[in-house]
Amino acid sequence: MSIKIDSMIDTTDNSWRVSLEGELDVSTADELKKYLHKIVDEKNIDIRLNLENLDYIDSTGLGVMIGILKRLKIDNKEVYIEKPKNNVRKIFNITGLDKIFKLEG
């Protein structure tokens, strides 16, 4: 199992654009957690997670996203979930996280 993470700052809306590719599960969640905390330490702004190339997510991956959202909410920032595949969107819907995160696309 592997995950590829790319990010950049989008100056048009002052947010991190983070693209995930592969699988986000117990074997890759720690890598994403460290990565997200590092970029938030660098600049604490909204995060837009592009999931169009994310094939799979489990509860550990969801936990990482919840953790970073909690950290951002302290400063009234958001995590946006963009373009999730149907199977990934279904996990957000089943867990009720579609009401906590801003799902787009």
State the CATH number of the domain containing residue 83.
3.30.750.24
Domain enclosing residue 64, as ranges? 3-104
Residue type (1 letter), 74: I
The CA-atom distances, in angstroms, between 49 and each of 20, 69, 104 are 7, 11, 10
Q: How many domains does the chain have?
A: 1
Q: Tell me: the pLDDT tens digits for 22-60?
A: 999 999 999 999 999 999 999 999 999 999 999 999 999
Name the pTM for this structure. 0.94
In whole angstroms, give the CA distance from residue 29 to residue 62.
9
**pLDDT band at 19; cut points 50, 70, 90:** very high
Nearest to 73 by CA among 44, 52, 48: 44
Residue type (1 letter), 96: G
Q: Residue with structure tokens 């592969």?
A: 22
Residue 16 Cα to chain centre, angstroms:
10
What pLDDT, on a 0 to 100 scale, did the predictor assign at position 105?
86
